[in-house]
Structure 1
Amino acid sequence: MRYIFAIFLAFFFVGCGYKPVSKITNDVLSDSVYVEVIVDKTEPKNSVFIQDAVKEGIVSRLNRNLGSKESAKTKIQVRTKSLTYTPTIYDEYGYISSYQAVLKLEFTTDFKDATTSVITASGEYDFSISRRTKSTRFADSVISENEKYEAIREASKEAFDEYISKLAIKGYKNGSN
């Protein structure tokens, strides 16, 4: 009886193979991908950090090459839907000491099979603000530029992770199982 159970267990584990996201997305993405980030008119600097995070994810997580708009069969257009900073922790004097950045991005993707999909993804990043005065009693609760852009970059990475998980589901449904 133990012998039969061991054989059944071995077949079960062999049948449940892991497949990386980069392999699952082969059915929907081409080898060459073009990324375009629509510049937000209120804060144009944010677009640079978002574009860097998305391009880094395309190359490192999906093992795809970045191409020109003319040569790439897959095109991804990223647009900022919203960016909010919410206070999460206050100190004993009522000053804000920690924030959460929530970034919502819209990915419009033209796939290699000539279909288009719009995927909304969001990313969050919690961070503490640095104190700018010597006295903590009169601390400043303003977010510095460095903290702001670090939060945008990290939230962009998280939003891209959500995007590729949705792409993996689409690739799995298209027969990459």
Structure 2
Amino acid sequence: MNILKKVLFVLFTFAISFSFFGCGYKPSSYYAKEEITGNVFVKVSIDLEDPQNSVIIKDSINKMLIQKLDVQLVDKESLADTVMYVKVNSVRMQALQYDKSGYNKLYRAIVTLDISYFNKSENKRKSFSVGGDYDFSIDNGTSINDTQRYQAIVQAADKALEEVLSKIAVLSFKK
């Protein structure tokens, strides 16, 4: 009986792996790598209301490009094969819940980013928007301080950036 379980396990594992590899499955990062090639320059428009958030977003997108797509980042736009533009479209705080005294207790930070990239070899520009949100609570009877707001915006921006690879992969099919 034990041998039968092992044989069934091996057959099941083989069937699952065959269905993934046999059907030509490729992760979204594969298609994103084909779309974002060569040297990459990232230009983030600085938001005058929240300049520190723009810096965090640039660092996060640079990290994502290096880790997920294995691209080479350059300091000058003239050296780049692909130029990526990132703009903070909106940052909002939304009250979700109030306590008995009428004070805000639960908030949601919502960040929307506009991203476009230009591939110099194909002479094509593609654009999309991504959004992220982050829910957080504050102590009773207090208001949001700058640290809480900043951390919430960072978390919401990170969630928005999680969508970037899949959006690039989808755009790679649109010629």
Is the 1:57–1:157 contact (alpha carbons within 8 Å) kept by the matching residues of 2? no
Q: Distance in 1 between matches of 2:86 and 2:160?
A: 11
Match of 2:71 in 1: 64
Question: What is the CA-CA distance between 1:174 and the residue it aligns to?
Answer: 6.1
Q: Distance in 1 between matches of 2:22 and 2:114?
A: 36
Pairs within 5 Å for 1:84-103 = 84-103=92-111
Amino acid at match of 2:116: T
Match of 1:3 in 2: none
Runs ≥4 in structure 1, deviation > 3 angstroms?
9-14
Amino acid at match of 2:32: T
The 10-residue stretch of structure 1 (77-86 or 58-67) with the greater mean CA deviation from structure 2: 58-67
Match of 2:5 in 1: none
Question: What is the CA-CA distance between 1:45 and the residue it aligns to?
Answer: 2.1
Q: Distance in 1 between matches of 2:51 and 2:20?
A: 50
Match of 2:144 in 1: 143
Gaps of 5+ in 1: 1-5
The 10-residue stretch of structure 1 (10-19 or 38-47) with the greater mean CA deviation from structure 2: 10-19
Question: What is the CA-CA distance between 1:63 and the residue it aligns to?
Answer: 2.4
Match of 1:75 in 2: 83
Cα 1:34–1:84, aligned 2, differ >3 Å: closer, same or farther? same
Gaps of 5+ in 2: 1-10
Per-residue deviation, residues 35-54 of structure 1 (Å, max 9, x unmatched): 11101122222211221221
Given candidates 34, 42, 49, the residue that maps to 1:27 is 34
Q: Distance in 2 between matches of 1:143 and 1:61?
A: 34
Q: Distance in 1 between matches of 2:23 and 2:147?
A: 44
Q: What is the SS of the residue equivalent to 1:70? A: helix
Given candidates 49, 60, 63, the residue that maps to 1:42 is 49
Q: What is the SS of the residue equivalent to 1:51? A: helix
Identical aligned pairs, as a percentage?
31
Q: Distance in 1 between matches of 2:119 and 2:162?
A: 18
Q: TM-score, normalised by structure 1?
A: 0.79
Q: Distance in 2 between matches of 1:34 and 1:44?
A: 19
Is the 1:88–1:100 contact (alpha carbons within 8 Å) kept by the matching residues of 2? yes
Q: Distance in 1 between matches of 2:43 and 2:151?
A: 21
Structure with higher RCO (Cα < 8 A, 6+ apart):
1
